[in-house]
Amino acid sequence: MNQVQELERAILARAERLATEYRERAARSRDAILREASERLRLREAREEAIAKALGDRAYRQRVQASELKMQSHLDRVRWNLVQDVEGGLQERMRRFIGDEPAYGAWLEALIQAAASAIERDEILVSANGRDLKRLRAGWDTIAQALPAGRAAILSDEPIETLAGVLVTSADRRIRVDNTFEGRLERLRPRVQQVILERLLPSGFDTGNIFSG
């Protein structure tokens, strides 16, 4: 397993732990709302007769529904904050990985090799940020020689805005493999959100209409 995969697994594990913590907090809030709602209903039943009670119940349900919407809004904010936290942690881990010159250099070369294999064109164009362009130029002959048979690569002189990684396109730019940090993060984001949702809202913890029926 390479360092990037270990990095992604570590971030996903962190998301699971954080999401579980927020789920427990949300569950406690939900239980408190249920207890308070039950007590208010009991007192209302004791004070009012059938018609008054029915009217009171309707007003009560509206208040409970408002509380439910508030809790759902809170969960949405929690999910968003978790996603931001995970992405921030991933950026920090990537910066540390960039500092490991041998490992990071080998990773860049592997990204280029993989993209060259995926893009079925004789010539590809490799773009990177300014720092990585200097790194790639220094060893470009070795990288170019290691490309799949029949493939040629050109290193773009124009730096791109990215934290790390490379953007590889066909010479005509019609085919692209986005292996920049941001591109890979974008592909990972749905999985991160899925993990967070699974921990926040597992089976049996449905926030929809929890007081109905």
Interacting residues of 41 by C-beta distance below 8 A, sequence separation 6+: 57, 60
Identity at 197, one-letter amino acid code: L
pLDDT tens digits for range 185-209: 888 888 877 877 777 666 544 444 3
Q: Full-prediction pTM beyond 0.85?
A: no
Give the tens place of pLDDT for each residue, 20-39: 877 787 777 777 777 887 77
Report the alpha-carbon distance of residue 181 to residue 119 in Å, rounded. Answer: 19
pLDDT tens readout for residues 152-167: 999 999 999 999 999 9
